[in-house]
Homo-oligomer: A and B are copies of this chain.
Amino acid sequence: MRIGILGTGTVGQTIGTRLVQLGHDVKLGSRSAANEKAAKWVGGAGDHATQGTFADAAVFGEMVFNCTGGMVSIDVLNQAGAENLKGKPLVDVSNPLDFSRGFPPTLSVCNTDSVAEQIQRTFPDARVVKALNTMTAALMVNPAAVPGSHDLFLCGNDADAKARVTELLRSFGWPGVLDLGDLTAARGMEMILPIWLRLMGTLKTPMFNFHIARA
């Protein structure tokens, strides 16, 4: 599959590398077509890796990953272009972390709204699926890095888009997803970040994940 990734940070690069390893063609998008971090990634990731603007990546992808920070995601997706996202599964991995008051960050949106819902409202023809935002990048693409059972939450309004994203996530090694229903579940998925950040500090590692133990 051709996949566009928006964002050149650790999350975008980690997902991009894994997708290339799995045989997909990946274009990493950034504000500038000549972004140096993207160029370095392309150099190391092999023939199926390319780079471009956010719009280039969105045009290229049959599926698009938003791996930008939640506070800039709408701006980035506007640069990507609504027409280039139309009808495509748009996997939103973002979190609305606001570091302007230092660490720990607060959330720039929560409780009655979420980044994922903002994106869906702004780009109604994109098929937004929230996933992967509740864990560190290395774990997103390699669940076996944390032993035992743990869960990958997912939500969205479009059943077909969720099925396609779920299939891709299975190829990362996830046995399945915990589908929380429509996109309003993204509020809870994003509001789990404060305890995630606290746990990272307590456990002194980001290599952990939530597991839902059930009766």
Contact B202 A194 (CB under 8 A): no
Interface residues of A in 107-123 (CB under 8 A from B): 107, 110-112
Contact A209 B202 (CB under 8 A): no
- Asked if A197 CB lies within 8 Å of chain B CBs, one says yes
The answer for the CA separation of A109 and B179 in the assembled complex, in Å, is 27
Q: Which residue of B lies closest to A107 (CB)?
A: B111
The answer for the CA separation of A187 and B107 in the assembled complex, in Å, is 11
Which of B178, B194, B207 is within 8 Å of A191, CB to CB? B194
Interface residues of A in 195-215 (CB under 8 A from B): 195-199, 201-203, 205, 207-215
CB-defined interface of A105-143 with B at 8 Å, one 1/0 digit per residue? Answer: 011001110000000000000000000000000000000
Q: Which residue of B lies closest to A153 (CB)?
A: B195
The answer for the CA separation of A147 and B211 in the assembled complex, in Å, is 13
A178 surroundings in chain B (CB, below 8 A): 199, 202
Contact A208 B214 (CB under 8 A): yes
The answer for the CA separation of A195 and B154 in the assembled complex, in Å, is 11
Interface SS, A side: mixed
- Asked if A180 CB lies within 8 Å of chain B CBs, one says yes
Contact B205 A209 (CB under 8 A): no
The answer for the CA separation of A214 and B209 in the assembled complex, in Å, is 7
The answer for the CA separation of A111 and B101 in the assembled complex, in Å, is 12
Contact A146 B187 (CB under 8 A): no
The answer for the CA separation of A208 and B106 in the assembled complex, in Å, is 28
- Asked if A192 CB lies within 8 Å of chain B CBs, one says yes
The answer to whether A191 and B202 touch (CB under 8 A), given A106-B111, A110-B110, A110-B111, is no
**Closest 3 pairs between A and B when the two form their complex, measured CB to CB:** A188-B195, A188-B194, A207-B215
User: CB within 8 Å of B: which residues of A?
Assistant: 106-107, 110-112, 145-150, 153, 178-181, 185, 187-189, 191-192, 194-199, 201-203, 205, 207-215
